[in-house]
Copies of this chain bind each other. A is one copy, B any other.
Amino acid sequence: MGKTLIFGHKNPDTDTICSSLAYADLKKKLGADVEAVKLGDVNKETQFALDYFKFEAPEYLPTLEPGTEVILVDHNEFQQSSEGIEAARILEVIDHHRIANFETKEPVYFRAEPVGCTATIIKKMYKENQVDLPENIAGLLLSAIISDSLLLKSPTCTDEDVEAAHDLARIAGVNLEEYGLEMLKAGADLSDKSASELISMDAKEFSMHGAKVEVAQVNTVDVEGTYAIKAELEAAINKVIEEKGLDLFLFVVTDILNNDSDALALGKSADKVEKAFHTNLIENRAFLKGVVSRKKQIVTNLTDAFAE
């Protein structure tokens, strides 16, 4: 048996990468033979955090051999995981998402908590296991919380996340607000992205009462700048809809300064977006006031709309 692989979801974000690296550090200190890997390229925001705290990104995992022992962080739904996950031996899951399309043959250590970020759970696990949290690992965990909570402003952010973030900033020796805004802005620079990159860099697929729905999200400080290539975005989205047989593709452009979103909806079930958010699509776009969380505001409302 080789090393146990620790990884987060496809289209990795900062929580997925940083939680994989941090949990690998903790498991190694507890005597396990583990290695963090990634399922795709790291984004600019994550790269900023890795550079700041002097980490290398994990190795890319191209294929998962059957029977490999794995630990999943920051996801559990198989369609968001590595190809071949069904034939892997899942030892643990550490997550903060809804649970769906997950199955094991044997009992497993599964820890999901309704907090804003996987990193918040991993910080707690250092304490529970009485392992000192290194400064640079604290920096990674802090970056993950800032990312998932949009600097503690998302409705997914719990008191526990806020408390953890302040603790971690102190341990890492950074100013939470200053470091956080700098990191988010690094990730919000979309100027060099093509339409197909924009719609896939943080895309997740969901099954909603039988419908196939993909929700992609980008953070920006310039919403209209992102829509400058609206025609290309629509063409790229329609191509994905056709290839995957999707009922709906929702592309969510989130304004990290004002904490609102402006979404582009395509597919034969685009009317579900109108129903879910009590709004009208104008040229396929809808302004979603106060909406920043895919998990707590978008997926939940859309799932309800598909249930009707």
**Pairwise interchain contact B112-A109, C-beta atoms closer than 8 A:** yes
User: Which 6 residue pairs spanning A and B have beta carbons closest together?
Assistant: A107-B114, A110-B112, A100-B103, A98-B104, A105-B303, A99-B104
Nearest Cβ in chain B — how far from A127, in angstroms?
11
Chain A contacts with B in 284-308, Cβ cutoff 8 A: 295-296, 299-300, 303
**6 A-B contacts (beta carbon < 8 Å):** A98-B103, A98-B105, A99-B103, A99-B104, A100-B103, A109-B114
Residues of A within 8 A of B (CB): 96-115, 128, 295-296, 299-300, 303
Complex Cα distance, B103 from A169, in Å, reads: 35
Most chain B Cβ neighbours within 10 Å, of A103, A110, A113: A110
**Pairwise interchain contact A106-B114, C-beta atoms closer than 8 A:** yes
Contact of A110 among B101, B111, B299, B303 (CB under 8 A): B111
**Pairwise interchain contact A109-B100, C-beta atoms closer than 8 A:** no
Contacts of A296 in B (CB 8 A): 106
Please name the residue on chain B nearest to A98 by beta carbon. B104
**Pairwise interchain contact B106-A100, C-beta atoms closer than 8 A:** no
Contacts of A128 in B (CB 8 A): 128
Contact of A103 among B96, B101, B109 (CB under 8 A): B101
**Pairwise interchain contact B99-A102, C-beta atoms closer than 8 A:** yes
Nearest Cβ in chain B — how far from A118, in angstroms?
11
Complex Cα distance, B283 from A256, in Å, reads: 70
Complex Cα distance, B94 from A110, in Å, reads: 10
Contacts of A300 in B (CB 8 A): 105-106
Complex Cα distance, B107 from A113, in Å, reads: 7
Please name the residue on chain B nearest to A90 by beta carbon. B99
**Pairwise interchain contact B111-A107, C-beta atoms closer than 8 A:** no
Nearest Cβ in chain B — how far from A79, in angstroms?
13
